[in-house]
Structure 1
Amino acid sequence: MKRRAARRPQRAKDVLHGQGSRSTGEFRCVGCRLAVPLRAPGTGHRNHCPNCLASRHVDRRIPGDRAAACGGRMEAVGLTARADGEWLLVHQCRSCGALGTNRIAGDDNALALVRLAMRPLADAAVARRVLLTL
């Protein structure tokens, strides 16, 4: 019988998403311009838009470190899964090409997630581009 890996506890994050965000509790999406709340079900902090799945390139090695100088738009290019079955979004920066992963949240657009998951089956060039970038 296969033993399931223990879930990693979510670290508490004290993250500021720009000027004045702490008081409003939201940030503006770089993709669809939706006002996105900082709280997200299923994760300790919000790091992408639940509507279009776009993010901003602000972190370097550690989520919440805000150490990246790029600030470009991170486009969702694929999905991956951890050994425990948790889904992660794969983002690529449109400015510098950097790749990163983000946990999906409970309120993410299910249709957008399924479209993203089906993308490699519909167009092999997309899968090849992601694999070559890794």
Structure 2
Amino acid sequence: MSRRRENRHRSRQGADSFRCANCSLDVPLSAPGTRHRNHCPNCLFSKHVDERVPGDRASDCGARMEPIAVTVRGDGEWVLIHRCTGCDALVANRSAGDDNPLLLMRTATRPLATPPFPLERLARL
């Protein structure tokens, strides 16, 4: 384990919250609907701390992860798609019961609100 990762792991032991790297909210680690909170319920940003599985805290990147999309699992559960601002990794994260519903809807509808073509082209169809 690298010294940086070891120190980060040590500093998290016993912690019951983390500070959001985007909006600076103090976020509790417990969240309704998930065992490993990995994003801020206020702004939906995350931090690139997991490498292979949720909760492993094995990533050396540590950059902010921007919420860019929402997908829905077969059982109806909403999942946030985050893109790392440091290494461009894409990660799927379960939504939590206390996530900001307005931001979840904005993220889900962003492709419809900003299509890759002028909206006037729809009128010609």
Query: Is the TM value for this pair above 0.5?
Result: yes
Residue 124 of structure 1 and its aligned partner are, at CA, apart by 2.1
Distance 1:115 1:18 in 2: 36
Distance in 2 separating the partners of 1:115 and 1:71:
25
Q: 1:22 to 1:57 in 2, by over 3 A?
A: same
Answering whether residue 21 of structure 2 is matched by residue 30 of structure 1, we say: yes
Q: Distance in 1 between matches of 2:13 and 2:41?
A: 17
Paired residue for 1:50, among 41, 50, 59?
41
Q: Give how far 1:21 is off.
A: 5.6
TM-score under structure 1 normalisation?
0.76
Structure 1 unaligned blocks of 5 or more: 1-15, 126-134
Q: Does the CA contact (< 8 Å) of 1:17 and 1:27 recur in 2?
A: no
The Cα RMSD (Å) is 1.6
Does the aligned pair in 1 maintain the 2:41–2:96 contact within 8 Å?
A: yes
Q: 1:108 to 1:81 in 2, by over 3 A?
A: same
Count of aligned pairs: 109
- In the TM superposition, 1:1-134 aligns within 5 A as 19-20=11-12, 22-23=14-15, 25-125=16-116
- Higher Cα Rg, which structure: 2
- The alignment-based identity, stated in percent, is 59
Normalising to structure 2: TM-score of the pair? Answer: 0.81
Consecutive aligned runs of 4 or more in structure 1 exceeding 3 Å deviation: none
CA 1:17–1:112 in structure 2 vs 1: closer, same or farther (change >3 Å)?
Answer: farther
Post-superposition CA distance 1:84-106 (Å, at most 9, x none): 11110000000110000100000
